[in-house]
Structure 1
């Protein structure tokens, strides 16, 4: 087992980071992260099934950084001084907590904004602007999702620019 190292995430450590560093780690500044912990009503102390204890701030910061980078949990454990299983458990716990606590705001709007009729209308509007298809209604941000090298057909998922095997989605269709 590798030795755990890195810095535990605490409010004082977050405040010691520059805004630029904090945004790189968590996609938000320290003050924004701390405000969100309070606004989302994340408990001050979280105890997972395996009895790992986290502060709400540390758990939310780990969730943000876990969603921010496509790296494995080993990298996070070396950066933030927590075991891979502990990080996995707290991220899963917090996702379930946020989904349960805020589900009334996270519901998929399939009856109005994203109804089948409206999706067809969006696709037609895109087509009317010169797109070759009438089923495209959105575009993701271009993030590449790294994959393992497949044993067959690896050229299909190889990205020469990134020099890695990955998936990249160009459009969302009906």
Structure 2
């Protein structure tokens, strides 16, 4: 069995190095020999070299439509139009750290990240950006989009206002006994790594691992709730919440049923959920 050194904080690492230096009595060769012995016995782990980014790569505004659709799900012309509809800055987008990028390229970065399941390095390398710079631009763009359209994520009312009857008819044509069902609700789990304890917990009873652990898949995860129309459009998204929460609890936390109950045009229509949800006048 090979011993693997645990991760240390900067203060812990500095303290150990000072102790090794003191044991070497200030002699450089002895200090290096002691460090070599500790590394050989896996008491220290050296960081791997960061992968090299090909900075000659860049975003190509003249990219062929077929290639752009594969990379971003949109053509370059469509990215221009979508950036306007999303109310992104029309000249350049600036991050809090001072990075500057065009709105079209920033939107392309978001689309590429959502389209390609590759590692962050692979996606960032395609734009000729470091992973940290790419991540800063990505988060800033998403923050702007969320600030402008957060209400649509909770419930896209205008999307279902007119085609609601068409949705119900489409479900009925598939043989459903429910003639007024127009959408479907379900929860999904996003698996995450096991969280470590925070340095400054809010209380002595805080246990992050227990909070996000779900006994059904036996994994640490975050829960999301979504309402989907028959044509595949996502009408509502809520989350994330702790993985230990049940779907019914998440529905109560979201306040979705109360919102739909206040909207008079939902009366007489229902959404369908699996047996984990309780029955309701509109579900």
Q: How many residues in Structure 1 have an aligned counterpart in Structure 2?
A: 139
Structure 1 match to 2:65: 19
Runs of 4+ in 1 over 4 A off after TM superposition: none
Is 2:7 the counterpart of 1:7? Answer: no
Q: Which consecutive unaligned segments of at least 5 residues does structure 1 have?
A: 140-146, 149-155, 157-171
Map of 1:1-174 to 2, 5 A cutoff?
A: 1-5=50-54, 7-9=57-59, 13-15=60-62, 17-43=63-89, 44-109=91-156, 129=175, 138=184, 174=273
CA contact (8 A) 1:26 1:68 kept: yes
Max radius of gyration: which structure?
Answer: 2
Q: TM-score, normalised by structure 1?
A: 0.60
- 1:59–1:109 CA distance, 2 compared to 1 (3 A): closer
Deviations, residues 86-145 of structure 1 (Å, cap 9, x unaligned): 1112111111101111234443258xx6xxxx9xxx7xx57x8269xxx9x559xxxxxx
5+ residue gaps, structure 2, are 1-49, 186-190, 193-216, 218-227, 229-271, 274-283
Counterpart secondary structure, 2:93: strand
Higher RCO (CA-CA < 8 Å; seq separation 6+): 1
Asked if the contact 1:14/1:22 (under 8 Å) is kept, the reply is no
TM-score (norm 2): 0.39
